[in-house]
Amino acid sequence: MTLLNFSEDEDMSGMKRNVVLALAVAAAVAAPSAFATYGYFSHGYGMTAKGMGGASTAMTKDTFGGANNPASMVWVGNRLDVGVDVFSPHRKADRSDTSAPFTQFVGSSDSESTEFLVPEFGYNSMLSPNSSFGVTVYGNGGMNTNYKSGVNTGSGATVCNNFGVTGTGQNILCGNGNVGVDLAQMIIAPTLSYKITPSNSVGISPLIGFQRFKAEGLHGFAGFSRESNYLTNNGYDTSTGAGVRVGWLGKINNMISLGAAYSSRMYMSSFEKYKGLFAEQGDFDIPANWNVGAAIKLGQSSTVALDFQKIDYGSVRSVGNSSRNYGSTTTNSLGPDDGRGFGWSNAKVWKLGFEHQASGNLTLRAGYGLTTNPVNSRDVTFNILAPGVVRQHYTLGGTFSMGKSSDITAAFMHAANNSVSGPSLFQDFGIAGANEKIEMYQNSLGAAWSQKW
């Protein structure tokens, strides 16, 4: 069955129909995502990059320039990419070493949310030999946790009673029922790319952002919040905003390509239902980030790519403010401008990828990614909700060409288990010796179909 039928002499009305089709597909795949790799940014955007450890800044393989480097799109040609990842993160939290009389205020809990479908979409159309217009739809996320209730019993439940939560069998953060959060970010990036010389291009992508968030089981922090009715269990809330990404790509010679891209901070509307949780009355902007990269051809059939990326998590107060800013003071410590946050530091990421043309219709890829850990040990308690602690990513991938006009690309990623330990926030309230550990590992497997014309 023919899904799309493009011809080289397609007229303008046909092009418009294809743009409409592309935007319709974008809307269809714009489902919430569940990443938690480099903090809550994905290890790669587009199945090609995912197979190369995320290295993509100087590559020109697909239509994900709106997420990687807008300047790359003019080298891609007329193309459509649609794919989906099966993403599986495994998160665990432990509390130990509590002293008498709180010896039962210990526990271990695994997040029960472990399987997610993550779609991806990209489209590009050449306006002239030197210019193109396209759109990339991609997602961030990763604060998707769901820890069961019933962890604290006996003296542990008594501890939770001190925080105004009655009954027995509370969750690991002294709330009723399961505890966790769900954050998804979707970004639509229409992209204009232009060759300023035969070997250099620039690009710009206005970024249109949508966020969805909910929190459950945080009743134990009601005394911390300036507006406790807007702290937890209010269902999903949404947020919108905008920013811009710009980029440059240069083909230095037949062997070396260089690239650089910068994304501004995306200023998002506040989560009104959770203005008693996040600093700045529910603000949760998407941080600025930038990346540089090189791609080097090794003979006729192989390429090695290296990227460096920096994500400015610390500049967003709800993410970067420490959860320990207030010590044992609780009143109004969640929600104000300088309120408690997750205490994330800026992330620095190195990505290395290798690509080899094994035959006329088969390309193989492998990659490795390494990041600094944004989660600090002093903030381990709050980050039970968002344990973005993995540091090393190993990837494999490949593309099988089905003739001149379509490809199938697949990618696998394994993020090695990593943990962060530190003193529990509950130590600030007299629970002597309490320490906590959060840990995570991840796997993902995805495939994408592309059409060229």
Kindly write down the DSSP assignment for every residue of 15-78, as one continuous string: HHHHHHHHHHHHHHH-------SBTTB-S-SSHHHHHTTT--TT--SSS-TTTS-GGGGGGT-S
Alpha-carbon span 33 to 119, nearest angstrom: 8
> Which pLDDT does position 29 carry in this prediction?
46
Bigger pLDDT: 151 or 226?
226
Other beta carbons within 10 angstroms of residue 175's beta carbon come to 27
Ranking 153-157, 188-192, 201-205 by mean pLDDT, the lowest is 153-157
Q: CB under 8 Å to 157, separation ≥6 — which residues?
A: 167, 168, 169, 170
Sign for the CA dihedral angle at 441, 148, 144, 345 comes to negative
Q: What is the pLDDT of residue 355?
A: 98
Q: 331: how many CB neighbours lie within 10 A of its CB?
A: 10
Q: What is the DSSP letter of 288?
A: P
Residue 149 corresponds to which tokens in the numbers above? 């209730």
Query: What stretch of H or E contains 156?
Result: helix 155-161
pLDDT given at position 326:
78
Average pLDDT over all residues of the chain: 88
Which helix (H) or strand (E) segment is 181 a member of? Answer: strand 180-197
pLDDT at 28: 45
Residue with tokens 């300023």: 196
* Residue 333 vs residue 141, higher pLDDT: 333
Own/partner long-range contacts of 226-230 (Cβ < 8 Å, ≥24 apart): 226/276, 226/331, 226/332, 226/334, 226/335, 226/336, 226/339, 227/275, 227/276, 227/335, 228/276, 229/276, 230/272, 230/273, 230/274, 230/275, 230/276, 230/277, 230/282, 230/335
Asked if residue 318 lies in contact with residue 341, where contact means CB atoms within 8 angstroms, the answer is yes
Residues with Cβ within 8 Å of residue 403, at least 6 apart in sequence: none
Both tokens assigned to 193: 């790319």
pLDDT attached to residue 167: 66
User: CB under 8 Å to 4, separation ≥6 — which residues?
Assistant: 18, 21, 80, 451, 453
pLDDT at 98 over 80: no
CATH of 12-452, one of 3.30.9.90, 3.30.420.40, 2.60.40.420, 2.40.160.60: 2.40.160.60
Kindly tell me if the per-residue pLDDT of 137 is higher than 70. yes
Residue 160 pLDDT > 70, yes or no?
A: yes
> What is the reported pLDDT for 3?
36
3-state secondary structure at position 1 = coil
Q: What is the pLDDT of residue 170?
A: 82
Q: pLDDT of 371-423, one tens digit each?
A: 999 999 999 999 999 888 999 999 999 999 998 899 999 999 999 999 999 99
pLDDT tens by residue, 28-61: 444 444 455 788 899 999 999 999 999 999 999 9
> Do 438 and 91 contact (CB within 8 A), yes or no?
yes
Higher pLDDT, 103 or 201: 201
Q: Cα(41)–Cα(328) distance, rounded to whole angstroms?
A: 32
Residue 162: which region, alpha, beta or left (left: phi > 0; alpha: psi -120 to 50)? alpha
* Helices marked H in 166-285: 279-282
The CA distance from 445 to 187, in Å, is 22
Does residue 11 register a pLDDT over 50? no
Q: Which of 251, 205, 230, 248 is nearest to 339 (CA)?
A: 230
Model confidence pLDDT, tens digit, residues 290-347: 999 999 999 999 999 999 999 999 999 999 999 987 767 788 899 999 999 999 999 9
Mean pLDDT, residues 175-194 taken together: 93
Can you tell me the distance from the alpha carbon of 168 to that of 160, in angstroms, rounded to the nearest whole number?
9
